[in-house]
Amino acid sequence: MIMRDLLMHLSSAVGGLMIIVTLFRDHFPPHLRDLLEKYTSKLVRLLYPYIQITFPEYTGERLKKSDVYTAIQNYLTEKATTGAKKLKADTLKDSQSLILSMDDNEEVTDEFQGAKLWWFSNKIVPKSMSMSFYPATEERRFYRLVFHKHHRDLITGTYIKHVMNEGKAIALKNRQRKLFTNNPSNNWYGYKSTKWSHVVFEHPATFDTLAMEPKKKQEIMSDLKKFSEGKEYYKKIGKAWKRGYLLYGPPGTGKSTMIAAMANFMNYDVYDLELTTVKDNSELRKLLIDTSTKSIIVIEDIDCSLDLTGQRKKAKKKKEDDEDEEGKGDPAKKMKEEEETKASKVTLSGLLNFIDGIWSGCGGERIIIFTTNFIDKLDPALIRRGRMDKHIEMSYCCFEAFKVLANNYLDVESHPLFGMIEAKMKETNMTPADVAENLMPKSSTETRETCLRSLIKALEEAKEEAAKKMAEEEEEAKESEAKDAANSIEEAKENGVVANGKLEEEKLNV
């Protein structure tokens, strides 16, 4: 007989006993009744020597999924695969592997330091007749742990802690990383809607494939590693456990690639925050509080995002002008639009407050990354150390970086043409994106040699282009200098005439 049947029999026996007790209670004199109750509960404890602990799925008014429940779920997943007969299947990590967990109404036996325990999974479906729009949310799942009372101390003291630790470790192992993007706030409310939508994060970039000076790359990796191990240190120095990185450099130098490599290195989720869809500072705050720990929050092209209000006003003004031209300018509508424009803005101070303030309360490790093509355009307050702790310049492709790309794209570590490429690279600037594009074979007939030669050709063209551009610029500068000089002579002449004229007038007046 399996344990559940045994427990069920015991429960019904106890239930029967309780009915008898109630009957006797009504007909017995009080002093005898007390005596009887005392002995009955002794008998019950003797007959049912098991203790039950229930772990509900949600805590506190169903607001938050219980961490304990999740840990138990993970812990039991491994046990269930071998022990349980009814299993639920789900896919995990690249949809390649299957994960099996305990189905409802199933039991799993476990043993811990000689003690035998039973886990049951079940759910309570309230029998209310009300027609709910969201039927699934009414179900209350729980796990129940049953063990002999002899093991009370062992189970409550050590075993549950062991389950928590194991469960968390399994969760970390199976962690499927996600890439989140923020939803516009008008989609935040309603059934199953969330502030962030996500897809599985499967970007292949790593620090190995990132083309960069090896020393600089190593420095960034050590910085990240130190940060991830710094829980106690940050606590000691009284700082929130967060770190800000500013990636700057021309387009195509690998800023976005670097973020993917960082996420893969750290095993973190990525929150790609699109500021243009965030209405105001309070929305920004809500979004950021809703991010999980072990995550990278990214704001790309921060210079464009922060100029948001300006951009919007410009767009709106153009629209208004168009309307006026058509003779449809409605003052009431205009006022409404103006109000909307005022309400729809994330300010620099809002962003600064968030970076400084909110996280301190959130706990957990978070990295924030800003990227920009124009570092000079940014407000110094935004990028001062402490906010953006590390500034990383992503620059044009150097020879070391080229070698990484050649290895990635052509599986070649050295080649007689490398010397020429190194020399040409010193003479001109080319982004890693352009180098990579030239190295990539475009057809099956292309060989390493042809790809490297096509890069050399591109480098030569880039050099010529740069020289031409410089000559043009010089020419323009000379022209404008000449123009300025001519203008100032003209001005001086005019001033001289006026001054002389004035002098003549004054003389006559005298």
Ligand X SMILES: Nc1ncnc2c1ncn2[C@@H]1O[C@H](COP(=O)(O)OP(=O)(O)OP(=O)(O)O)[C@@H](O)[C@H]1O
CA distance 174 to 98: 11
d(CA 119, CA 112): 13
Q: Which helix (H) or strand (E) holds 148?
A: strand 140-148
Is residue 296 within the footprint of ligand X (CB under 6 A)?
no
DSSP structural state of residue 358: I
Q: Residue 154 or residue 304: which is nearer to ligand X going by CB?
A: 304
> Which 8-state DSSP code applies to residue 44?
H
Counting contacts by CB under 5 A, is residue 256 touching Mg ion? yes
Q: Choose from Mg ion, ligand X, none: what does 210 bind? Cβ within 5-8 Å by kind.
A: ligand X
Which residue's CB is nearer to Mg ion, number 256 or number 372? 256
Q: Least separation, in Å, of the C-beta of 257 and ligand X? A: 3
Q: Is 101 in the site for Mg ion (CB under 5 A)?
A: no
**How far apart are CB 301 and Mg ion at their closest, in Å?**
8
Q: Is 335 exposed, middle or buried (0-12, 13-18, 19+ CB in 10 A)?
A: exposed
CB of 106 to Mg ion, least distance (A): 48
Residue selected from 368, 436, 452, 459 as contacting ligand X according to rule CB under 6 A: 436
Partner from ligand X, Mg ion, none binding residue 212, C-beta < 5-8 Å depending on class:
ligand X
Which listed option, Mg ion, ligand X, none, makes contact with residue 382 (CB within 5 to 8 Å by class)?
none
Residue 306 interacts, among Mg ion, ligand X, none and using kind-specific CB cut-offs from 5 to 8 Å, with none
Nearest CA to 245 out of 346, 356, 368 is that of 368
Establish if 73 lies at the interface with Mg ion (CB under 5 A): no
Q: Does 77 bind Mg ion (CB under 5 A)?
A: no
Compute how many residues bind ligand X; rule: CB under 6 A: 15
DSSP H or E stretch at residue 418: helix 418-427
In this chain, which of 70, 341, 347, 373 binds ligand X, going by CB under 6 A? 373
In the window 24-53, what residues touch Mg ion (CB under 5 A)? none
Who contacts 199 (Cβ-Cβ below 8 Å, separation ≥6)?
Answer: 178, 179
* Nearest residue to 198 (alpha-carbon basis) of 218, 168, 176: 176
**Least Å from the CB of residue 367 to ligand X:** 17
**Residue 220 contacts which entry, Mg ion, ligand X, none (Cβ below 5-8 A, type-dependent):** none
Distance CA 221, CA 280 (A): 35
Minimum distance of ligand X from residue 249's CB (angstroms): 6
Q: Is 210 in the site for ligand X (CB under 6 A)?
A: yes
- 251 touches ligand X by CB under 6 A: yes
Given 77, 253, 264, 305, the residue binding ligand X (CB under 6 A): 253
- In terms of phi and psi (left: phi > 0; alpha: psi -120 to 50; beta: otherwise), the region of 273 is beta
Cβ-contact 121, 79 below 8 angstroms: no
Q: Is 167 in the site for ligand X (CB under 6 A)?
A: no
Per CB under 6 A, does 246 bind ligand X? no
Residue 446: CB minimum distance to ligand X, A:
18
244/432 with CB nearer ligand X: 432
CA distances from 192 to 188, 196, 292 (A): 9, 11, 18
What does 167 interact with, of Mg ion, ligand X, none (CB < 5 to 8 A by kind)? none
Nearer to Mg ion, 203 or 453 (CB): 203
Q: Which residue is nearest to ligand X (CB)?
A: 254
The reply on whether position 255 binds ligand X by CB under 6 A is yes
Amino acid at 376: D
C-alpha span between 65 and 73 (Å, rounded) = 12
> Nearer Cβ to ligand X, position 80 or 401?
401
What is the DSSP pairing of strand 366-372 with strand 295-299? parallel
- The answer to whether residues 43 and 77 touch, using CB atoms and an 8 Å cutoff, is no
Least distance in angstroms from the C-beta of 60 to Mg ion: 41
Report, in Å, the least distance between residue 124 CB and ligand X.
50
> Which residues fall within 8 angstroms of residue 248, CB to CB, at 6 or more apart?
255, 371, 372, 373, 374, 375, 391, 392, 393, 394
Q: Considering the rule CB under 6 A, would residue 212 count as an interface residue with ligand X?
A: yes
CB 288 within 8 A of CB 357: no
DSSP secondary structure string, 299-342? Answer: ESSHHHHHTHHHHHHHHHHHHHHHHHHTT---HHHHHHHHHHHH
Is residue 433 within the footprint of ligand X (CB under 6 A)?
yes
Q: Which is nearer to Mg ion, 242 or 255 (CB)?
A: 255
Q: Which residues are near ligand X by CB under 6 A?
A: 210-212, 251-257, 373, 394, 432-433, 436
Q: Which residues are near Mg ion by CB under 5 A?
A: 255-256
